Structure formats: structure tokens, C-alpha cells
Amino acid sequence: MQIKNLIILNKNLPSNEQILVALLLTFVGGFFDAYTFINSKGIFANAQTGNLIFIGLEIAKGDFLASFNYVPPVLFFIMGVIFNEYIVTKYSNLSIARYLNLSLIIQTILLVIVYLVPNIIVFDIRPLIISFVCAMQYDSFRTVNKIPFASIFCTGNLRSASEHLFRYFYKKELASRNKSILYFVIILFFFSGVIVGGIFSNIFGHRAILLTILILLFNLFISTIHDKYIFNKN
């Protein structure tokens, strides 16, 4: 992997492996957590570890009712993974590119629903649907430039970045240098998504979700163009 491939589309890789696509999805992942935390009273969209911690802390305080606020996002995340796996199994004849484009389309439609119908009566459904979307994204996009990554949280990426940093400096493995750089760039984009998500949510409130819809549509556009006209399948 050459460093220049961090900023250009690689014609020898499909769209789901492209760094640009991964970085945009990771930015959205960070944005989601900031958006729901600010707009949905401290609930995370994709950091289900955080939600589980909050559940445990509320139970520890004896406030069982408050703990239930964090349960639905966890359940919807599970449902999102199951739904995504169902699509993969049901339509196994689809190519990876077409399946991932279908996944992006479904995610975008769900986010439009979030924008149009943020609440049902008095119940905030935004963290539920966004958790479902994050699960689909996490289950669909698993590798970038042929290395595993996660677009919705940083723990695994941080571990991998640190591992390759060690391999480069201690074991002199040159391939680990660029892998470490890529992981740290991915983490930076997640962090940037959190910052922008926080700023936009404080300024625009609920309407901030429109930015993620535009980014997913752009990802869908470049993925379609790349796989159809750029990707060298030979």
C-alpha cells in the first residue's frame, strides 16, 4: 500500500475497499454519536459499550427505570446486524458492490425517516433507527484497502494502529508503516465527525442529521461510478 493511495481511488480495488469511502463512513460514525448524545439526552447511537455502561450504572444506583432508556438502542443494533445478515443470505446472488449499494440506499432511507419523523408521540426514535443504521454499516463495511477496520467506533482501530506502529519501529516491517498511518487517519476522521456532529447539533439541532444523509448519498454516487467505470475487474 502506497501512501498516495490514502487520497486517491485505487482502480484495482472495489468501492467498498476504497479509503475515501471508509473515511466518509467513519466521519459519519463519529457524527452519529455526537448527534444522538446531544439531541437524545445522552444516548449513544453506535457506541453500544457506552450504552451498556450507562445501563449498568443506573442499575447500580437502583434506578431501574432510567436504565431502560439505554436498552432500546442496544436491541436495535442487534436487529440491524440480523437484518443485514438476512439481506446477505436472502440475496446471495448479488455482487458485493450491488449489495453494499443496496445497504447504503437502505441506510439513507432510514435516516430520511429519522429526519421526517424524529418522535412517535413522545418517544424519541432517533437513537433507535440510527443504531440500526450503524449496525448495518458496521456489518457491511469491514475492510479498507484489504485490512480490517470499523467505521463506527475506534477501539479496534486504535489497537491495530498501535500494533502496526510497534511492528514498524521495533520489527522494521515497512508495510506496517502505511497501515498504521491509515488507521490513525481513520481515527482522526472519526474524531472530526464527533466534533462536527457536536457543533452542528448545537447550532442546528435535529436538522444536523441532513449532513449525514448528504454524505451517504455522495458515498453511494462515488461507489456506483467507481465500480462501473473505474474499477479494473481483470
**Measured distance CA(148)–CA(159) in Å, rounded:** 12
Pick the more confident residue, 145 or 205: 205
Q: What is the pTM of this model?
A: 0.91
| pLDDT surpasses 50 at 12 | yes
Question: For the residues of 28-42, what is the DSSP string, one character each?
Answer: HHHHHHHHHHHHTTT
pLDDT in tens, 96-125: 777 888 889 999 999 999 999 998 888 899
Express each pLDDT in 122-177 by its tens digit. Answer: 889 999 999 999 999 998 888 988 899 999 888 899 999 999 999 999 988 888 99
Task: Quickly list DSSP for 148-210.
Answer: E--SS-SHHHHHHHHHHHHHHHHS--HHHHHHHHHHHHHHHHHHHHHHHHHHHHHHHGGGGHH
Sort 229 into a burial class: Cβ within 10 Å, 0-12 / 13-18 / 19+: exposed
- Rounded to whole angstroms, the Cα distance separating 23 from 158 reads 15
pLDDT of residue 231: 74
- 123 phi, psi to nearest 5 deg: -100, 125
Q: What does the pLDDT look like over 53-91, one tens digit per residue?
A: 999 999 999 999 989 999 999 999 999 999 999 988 887
